[in-house]
Amino acid sequence: MRSIDELDWGTPAVSDATLVTLEIDGFSVSVPAGTSVMRAAAVAGISVPKLCATDSLEPFGSCRLCLVQIEGKLGFPASCTTSATSGMRVTTQNARLAGLRRNVMELYISDHPLDCLTCPANGHCELQDMAGAVGLREVRYGFEGANHLAVVKDESNPYFSFDPSKCIVCSRCVRACDEVQGTFALTIAGRGFDAHVSAGNDQSFLASDCVSCGACVQACPTATLIEKSIIEQGQPDASIVTTCAYCGVGCSFRAEIKGAEVVRMVPNSDGHANHGHSCVKGRFAFGYATHPDRIRTPMVRDSIQEPWREVPWDEAITFAAKRLQKIQAQHGRGAIGGITSSRCTNEETYLVQKLVRAAFHNNNVDTCARVCHSPTGYGLKQTLGESAGTQAFDSVMHANVIMIIGANPTDAHPVFASQIIQRLRSGARLIVIDPRRTDLVRMPHVAADFHLKLRPGTNVALINAIAHVVVSENLIDHAFIAERCESGTFEKWRDFVIEPQHAPEQSENITGVPAAQVRAAARLYASGGNAAIYYGLGVTEHSQGSTMVMGIANLALSTGNLGRQGVGVNPLRGQNNVQGSCDMGAFPHELPGYRHVSDGATRASFEAAWGVTLDDEPGLRIPNMLEAALDGSFRGLYIQGEDIAQSDPDTEHVTAALEAMECIIVQDLFLNETAKFAHVFFPGSSFLEKDGTFTNTERRISRVRRVMQPLGGKADWEVTLMLAKALGYPMEYRHPAEIMDEIARLTPTFSGVSYSRLDEQGSIQWPCNVRAPDGTQTLHEQTFTRGLGRFVVTPYVPSHERTNDKYPLILTTGRILSQYNVGAQTRRTRNIAWYAEDLLEIHSHDAETRGVIDGDWVGVKSRAGETVLRARISDSVQPGVVYTTFHFPESGANVITTEHSDWATNCPEYKVTAVQIVKVTQPSAWQQRHSRLDRTQKKLLNEREPLRS
Amino acid sequence: MNIERLVEMANDIAANQAADRPSAVVLIAQHLRRFWEPRMRKQIIDHLHNGGAGLGDEARAAVALLADPIHNQK
């Protein structure tokens, strides 16, 4: 069932500059050439009955309900598959057509349950609507003949039900799976009367390849595929457009509600990032917002050994402010800081950095981008001048060659992955650079031309080898370099990469990638037409993350693959507002808009607006804060929306630092791992309770609109305001729109952004200012943000993490489709049906030599620590490499990751940890300690002193 | 802060910028100046004055430059 508030135009829009004019039922209408007669009729305000057509899918012409008559043409063509042409005269309604349509409907209804009043789709069922539209009054065949009414439902999927008895075999679900999602999990099995929708090979939906994106449910015209939330709660009666709070794609959704209750989330067909598509997280996994674990009342305690005490907001704020002030009085103004999160809105993040700079009087503010894409900010700023991806998602449809480095879009950015898959199936070539065989390497109708399966930690050696081929075989774009790049830096870089040690034949020993593959992939990238690079945390979360980002930019510069559609350098940001949190100045060295704190003119503009003197020295990054906590010079931390005790590396180091601090303030939805070390807990708001904006990985700013009231009684931005006021720095805003207005006044790239413009346009890609009043789809079109593109020499420096006899394997970490980041949200949803624990993927060769079989408990030991995970034998990883995720706190994946980090930004080296694997029978010592801590802290929570009324 | 960790970080910065001759030492010092919080800079400078154990040649030269008020430009 499509969104209750969206019109269905029947067939997809066509973009063609040529218009054709035709007459439908006597009305003249002009539409782009190639538009279907059905859509042209809809444009003219005429609704043609239909069942198998919907505007998100290519026309199919199977239901025969949309028949029309066209003057001069024989028969009754289907209006969905017939293109409108100039001068065409169409009749959509007459007695003959009505008779034919009634006959068709009569056949459908003869094998359909007549339970409309108790059907969950009642009132929003297209079959029911069409029966009414064609005037069906009887079914002459009766209902006693052979039918499908007793076919058993498939309830295996946690979020939707499949009731074959209501199926009209229109194939909309099958086509949605093929055309929109690209998984090919569904098919029509059988022929004639036996024809039926089959998940996989007549498997249950849960057991099939279905990824639960919801496209089939949205496409279904009946209640055959329908959300269980609608079955349980009834139909929604209103919708609010908002933005998903999961990955960096930033899908637009319609939150469909009934009163204050969210019934379902439906992807917005007008969504500029997702074009009406979704994934299992955004579409279905929103139940955490009302989970019983939500903490709804502020709490305080003097020490982490004490039970929590519920207090009113003002008391909690005063408690926190006094503690922070006391620390600063005793240990200096640099002894406290703040951490904000990519799960927060731009406005919230802006306020946290303002609080730290204006009320804490220092620059000790950081964001979780520190541990994911900070190298992107550094590397792209150095080379191109702007700390952001260059393209819009739609640009990929113009790419001839797609290079994906260290990213797994089908799991981590699934909606954009569907767009990539569409482009690949229409002819683009694919290069994957990844230690693991990701789904995109080979899937139905997609096969990578090259999978460069490198050893973890050797990215820079590989990018230099690719560059060596480009230079030595003269595949460079001389004209682009001469016109667009900085003189001197190219020559320096060229002379560097041409050195013999960078030849693929030499670096093969380092990377493990055969030289011939590297050469062929480099030739394809450099000479295959428009070449676009998409990269993820497999690039950034390394000791040379920043170097690799610059290596990627060098490659794009040298081949002229920047500044137009179909090319570019595109980071795929892990969380929904990574881009935004960086834009908003949540880094200790940068004010909003990526301007260094030492820049006097920028600082002066903020000082004038904020009425304070700002520190001109860089502050502490998250890992520096933790180090400083251990030496006693950093003692207080305000954390909004982050869970560093689970997400950051070397867990025992993190928790020791947290324990060493005097005042930890956590503002979050749940008592997360970090909150177990906290002294103050402010109840945070889920995205459904927020008003603000998120900025996705394509620099697209989208509105987040409040769907329900904050369960804790205060919006997150209001909490920051209260804390600032208690610290003697009142900030006056009545609504987040006013915060955005201030951001726009003070940040040149945002000067044209406002809530009214966002409401008008739907979304805006920054820069949005006088020069680009509607925003900017593609960066660096005429010149680079820094003027001329700059090549940077990128030496390969091996990681400190080395394998040896004691630690012979390399562990690399990542994400899975159904879970998100630390799992605080998705673990509290039915998504655990797909993934209920972190698993260790190990190659059969490595498993065999250790006597490990699938499902065994194995100890994973590194120089930092040890944990125990269940093994999964997999050939996705190469021998010598093991892989796990970090979605479950008890897994302790980050107990094993080390303190090593990117040289430029301190982004942790999550992707390279030397480990040993042994078969074990009990949890690790850390897990046993964690279990005790967890039990104790939950007890202290459960025994909290209730709020006195 | 843990001085071994700061030394490793300084050496990593140096290793990644050493190829950018002849300005490598200046670039390393600039990096430390722009991205390291003052107490970290002070600690690494103090460490250099105490012998600078563990610092590589380029890192050592860069920290020396960082300590020199004439070159200590933001």
Q: Which domain holds residue A850?
A: 809-936
- CATH number, domain with residue A698: 3.40.50.740
Q: How far is B52 from chain A (nearest CA, A)?
A: 19
- How far is CA A878 from each of CA A847, A873, A881, rounded to the nearest angstrom? 12, 11, 6
> What residue type is assigned to position A72 of the chain?
G
Residue A625 near residue A364 (C-beta atoms within 8 A): yes
Q: How far is A183 from chain B (nearest CA, A)?
A: 42
CB contact under 8 A, B37 and A617: yes
CB contact under 8 A, A624 and B16: no
- Residue A532's DSSP bridge partners are A402
Task: Clarify whether residues A413 and A313 are in a common domain.
Answer: no
**Whole-angstrom Cα distance, residue A414 to residue A435?**
20
Q: Mean per-residue pLDDT for A258-274? A: 96
What tens digit of pLDDT does each residue of A289-306 get? Answer: 999 999 999 999 999 999
- Chain A residue nearest residue B32, CA to CA: A904
Residues contacting residue A169 through CB under 8 Å, at least 6 positions apart: A188, A195, A196, A197
Q: What proportion of chain A, given as a percentage, has pLDDT over 70?
A: 100
What tens digit of pLDDT does each residue of A388-414 get? Answer: 999 999 999 999 999 999 999 999 999
Residue entry with tokens 């009113």: A312
Residue B20 is predicted with a pLDDT of 76
- Chain B residue nearest residue A899, CA to CA: B5
What residues does each domain of chain B span?
Answer: 3-67
**Whole-angstrom Cα distance, residue A16 to residue A31?**
9
**Contacts of residue B19 in chain A, CB cutoff 8 Å?**
496, 793-795
Residue entry with tokens 């990519």: A342
- How far is CA A807 from each of CA A426, A731, A820, A880, rounded to the nearest angstrom? 45, 53, 29, 10
Task: Clarify whether residues A366 and A384 are in a common domain.
Answer: no
**Which residue, among A633, A723, A629, has the nearest Cα to A356 in the 3D structure?**
A723
Q: How far is A364 from chain B (nearest CA, A)?
A: 9
- CATH number, domain with residue A547: 3.40.228.10
CB contact under 8 A, B9 and A619: no
Q: Phi, psi (5° rounding) for residue A218?
A: -65, -35
A137 domain-assigned: no
Task: Clarify whether residues A494 and A591 are in a common domain.
Answer: no
Model confidence at B22, pLDDT cuts 50, 70, 90, reads: confident
User: Counting one residue from A and one from B, how many pairs have CB atoms under 8 Å apart?
Assistant: 66
A180 domain-assigned: no
CB contact under 8 A, A589 and B9: no
Residue A15 is predicted with a pLDDT of 92
Task: Clarify whether residues A760 and A692 are in a common domain.
Answer: yes
Is B71 part of the contact surface with chain A (CB cutoff 8 Å)? no
| pLDDT of A677 strictly over 70 | yes
Residue B72 is predicted with a pLDDT of 60
- Map residue A854 onto helix, strand or coil: coil
Candidate from A618, A624, A906 with C-beta closest to B34: A618
A790 domain-assigned: no
What tens digit of pLDDT does each residue of A156-168 get? Answer: 999 999 999 999 9
How do A89-91 and A19-24 pair as beta strands? parallel
| pLDDT of A914 strictly over 90 | yes
Q: Mean per-residue pLDDT for A212-228? A: 98
Instruction: Determine the angle formed by the axes of helices A346-354 and A736-746, rounding to 10 degrees.
Output: 70
Q: What proportion of chain A, given as a percentage, has pLDDT over 90?
A: 98
**Contacts of residue A546 in chain B, CB cutoff 8 Å?**
16
What tens digit of pLDDT does each residue of A311-326 get? Answer: 999 999 999 999 999 9
Q: Mean per-residue pLDDT for A113-127? A: 95
Residues contacting residue B46 through CB under 8 Å, at least 6 positions apart: none
Task: Clarify whether residues A447 and A587 are in a common domain.
Answer: no
Task: Clarify whether residues A479 and A521 are in a common domain.
Answer: yes
* Cα angle: A498, vertex A501, A503; to 5 degrees: 60
Q: Phi, psi (5° rounding) for residue A475?
A: -95, 15
CB contact under 8 A, B37 and A334: yes
- CATH number, domain with residue A17: 3.10.20.740
Residue A626 is predicted with a pLDDT of 98
Number of domains in chain A: 4
- Residue A451's DSSP bridge partners are A432
* Cα angle: A746, vertex A749, A755; to 5 degrees: 75
Residues contacting residue A421 through CB under 8 Å, at least 6 positions apart: A182, A440, A443, A446
Q: Mutate which of B1, B13, B28 to test chain A, going by most A C-beta atoms within 10 A?
A: B1
Secondary structure string (H, E, C) spanning A294-322: CCCCCEECCCCCCCCEECCHHHHHHHHHH
Q: Which residues of A touch B (CB under 8 A)?
A: 334, 363-364, 496, 543-544, 546-547, 588-589, 596, 598, 616-620, 624, 627-628, 630-631, 633, 792-795, 797, 800, 899, 901, 903-906
Model confidence at A509, pLDDT cuts 50, 70, 90, reads: very high
CB contact under 8 A, B20 and A631: no
Q: Mean per-residue pLDDT for B30-35? A: 96
Residue A138 is predicted with a pLDDT of 93
How do A531-535 and A569-571 pair as beta strands? parallel
**Which residue, among B20, B34, B27, has the nearest Cα to B59 in the 3D structure?**
B27
Domain limit, last residue, from A73, A93, A113? A93
What tens digit of pLDDT does each residue of A513-532 get? Answer: 999 999 999 999 999 999 99
Task: Give long-range contacts, CB 8 A cutoff, 24+ apart: A795-798.
Answer: A795/A460, A795/A496, A795/A547, A795/B15, A795/B16, A795/B18, A795/B19, A796/A458, A796/A460, A796/A461, A796/A464, A796/A507, A796/A510, A796/A544, A797/A460, A797/A543, A797/A544, A797/A547, A797/A903, A797/B12, A797/B15, A797/B16, A798/A457, A798/A510
Please give the mean pLDDT across all residues of chain A.
97
- CATH number, domain with residue A864: 2.40.40.20
Q: Mean per-residue pLDDT for A525-548? A: 98
CB contact under 8 A, A624 and B15: no
A207 domain-assigned: no
Q: Which helix (H) or strand (E) element contains residue A720?
A: helix A716-726
- How far is CA A192 from each of CA A189, A222, A542, rounded to the nearest angstrom? 10, 20, 56
| pLDDT of A353 strictly over 80 | yes
Q: How far is CA A521 from the centre of its chain?
A: 28
Task: Clarify whether residues A664 and A527 are in a common domain.
Answer: no
CB contact under 8 A, B1 and A630: yes
Task: Clarify whether residues A381 and A519 are in a common domain.
Answer: yes
Residue A948 is predicted with a pLDDT of 84
Task: Clarify whether residues A611 and A740 are in a common domain.
Answer: yes
Q: Mean per-residue pLDDT for A233-242? A: 96
Both structure tokens of A851: 């006597």
CB contact under 8 A, B16 and A627: no
Residue A453 near residue A883 (C-beta atoms within 8 A): no
A669 domain-assigned: yes
| pLDDT of B74 strictly over 70 | no
Residue A687 near residue A250 (C-beta atoms within 8 A): no
**Whole-angstrom Cα distance, residue A40 to residue A84?**
7
A260 domain-assigned: no
**Contacts of residue B8 in chain A, CB cutoff 8 Å?**
800
Residue entry with tokens 């190219």: A490
Residue A909 is predicted with a pLDDT of 97
A605 domain-assigned: yes
Residue B73 is predicted with a pLDDT of 54
| pLDDT of A335 strictly over 60 | yes
- Map residue A536 onto helix, strand or coil: coil
Instruction: Output Rg (C-alpha) for chain B, integer angstroms.
Output: 11
Instruction: Output Rg (C-alpha) for chain A, integer angstroms.
Output: 29
Residue A143 is predicted with a pLDDT of 84
Residues contacting residue A923 through CB under 8 Å, at least 6 positions apart: A868, A931
ipTM: 0.96
Is B51 part of the contact surface with chain A (CB cutoff 8 Å)? no
A228 domain-assigned: no
**Contacts of residue B2 in chain A, CB cutoff 8 Å?**
627, 630-631
